Structure 1
Amino acid sequence: MASLLGERLFEISGQGPPPQKDFFQLVITKNEVILTSWRISLRLECRGLPPNQQKISHQDFQNDKTLQYEVGAVFGQRILDYTAALCQGKFDYLERLPDDIMLRIMYCLELKDMALLAQTSRRFKTLFSSEKFWEQTVRNCAGFNRDIEDIANAMGWKRTFLTFFHNSDDKKQQPNLIPLLGYLGCSYR
């Protein structure tokens, strides 16, 4: 599992809270937390200032309340909690799996469960909305043939599934996904 971890575990950047206009970047590597800030100001004395960079080990970050406060103020409590979890060695391996492996795992789930999984993160939503996912879903349906493949190539795999296969099974086995797809922001027409 350690091979899934790149050198950079997490990276986020953005503007600080008002009234400041400073720009911040948070990078978490395998060994340290790096918070870089660029001063944004119209004042002459601030022009040409180099960015301020704070590098600190994971262990030291857990004890540095000032830096934790700054990360929380700039990026929010959710990012602070995630940063603290990474510093404690709590990695989200599932999110780091390659797309082809994630798609294989998703194919083992019921369609309703996949739609619910898509609500948990942007990555799962993107995979659930991908043509690759819907192509494999249609190819695994009973009644798939060359004619269906030609239709799917013309009108899209998701639309083909919803048109030809979604309502063909017993309603109890396969719940109506149209409202759930709409909730996820997926177009189904």
Structure 2
Amino acid sequence: MTSLLPHTLYEAEGQAPSPSKDFHYFIVTQEEVIMRSWKIAVRTEKRTMLPQEVRKTHSEFLLEDVMHNQLQKIFGTDTVEYVLNLCKGHFDFLVRIPDGLKIYVMSFLDTNDIKRMSQTCKSFQKLCNSEELWEKVKSRQDTHLNAIHRTGFSGSMKKYNPKLHRPAWMQRRKSTFF
């Protein structure tokens, strides 16, 4: 399953907290962790400093507390925890599945489950609010209702008709006068 992962697992960039204006770029690949830093100085004598790059393997990074503290100051504790899990081999495969496949799977879920799923992370929130997902959900409901009509369901259609469960303001007919 890890062969399906992209080469770059995580990428972040940001500015160090004030008063520092240093810029940091952080990459986690399948083999190593790379931290690039650019020192930003107002004084002219410090402008000749070159960017720094620190490369560590995953096992070395897990033991490097100084780098953990530096990452925590720049990107926050959530990022450090996420990167440590990546280095330990705990990958989040569900987020890395292609969007089309996620939408296909989510189209089988109930609307309450879709609502809960949208609250888990930003990528799921974006997918759960997409028109493509709701078009698939609607078409799936329509095919379900058509199958019931074709079989000649003798029971009450009230519980299978979504229009009957709408609020009163949606059920009223709008009359227009010409």
Q: How far apart, CA to CA, are the structure 2 residues paired with 1:4 and 1:103? A: 19
Task: Give the 5 Å matches for 1:128-139.
Answer: 128-139=128-139
Q: Which amino acid aligns with 1:96?
A: R
TM-score (norm 1): 0.74
Q: Paired residue for 2:2?
A: 2
Which of 163, 168, 171 aligns to 1:168? It is 163
Higher-Rg member (1/2): 2
Q: Which amino acid aligns with 2:17?
A: P
SS at match of 1:74: helix
Q: Paired residue for 1:49?
A: 49
Q: Paired residue for 2:174?
A: none
Task: Give the 5 Å matches for 1:64-103.
Answer: 64-103=64-103
Provide Cα deviations, 1:29-74, integer angstroms capped at 9, x if missing partner. Answer: 0011111111111111222422111100000011111111111111
Q: Once the 2 structures are TM-superposed, how far is the Cα of residue 108 of structure 1 from its aligned partner?
A: 2.1
Q: Which amino acid aligns with 1:24?
A: H
Q: Paired residue for 1:176?
A: none
Q: How far apart, CA to CA, are the structure 2 residues paired with 1:96 and 1:23? A: 28
Q: Paired residue for 1:183?
A: none
Instruction: Say if 2:35 is the partner of 1:40.
Output: no
Gaps of 5+ in 2: 145-160, 167-178
SS at match of 2:141: coil
Q: Which amino acid aligns with 1:26?
A: F
Give the conservation status (yes or no) of the 8 Å contact 2:8–2:29: yes
Gaps of 5+ in 1: 145-165, 172-189
Would you say how many aligned residue pairs link Structure 1 and Structure 2? 152
Give the conservation status (yes or no) of the 8 Å contact 1:4–1:97: no
SS at match of 1:140: helix
Structure 1 residues 143, 59: closer, same or farther in 2, change over 3 A? closer
TM-score (norm 2): 0.79
* Root-mean-square deviation over aligned CA pairs: 2.3
Q: How far apart, CA to CA, are the structure 2 residues paired with 1:132 and 1:4? A: 25
Instruction: Say if 2:9 is the partner of 1:13.
Output: no
Q: Which amino acid aligns with 2:39?
A: R
Give the conservation status (yes or no) of the 8 Å contact 1:85–1:91: yes
Provide Cα deviations, 1:79-122, integer angstroms capped at 9, x if missing partner. Answer: 00001000000000000000011111211211110111011111
- After TM superposition, the runs of 4+ consecutive aligned structure 1 residues lying more than 4 A away are none
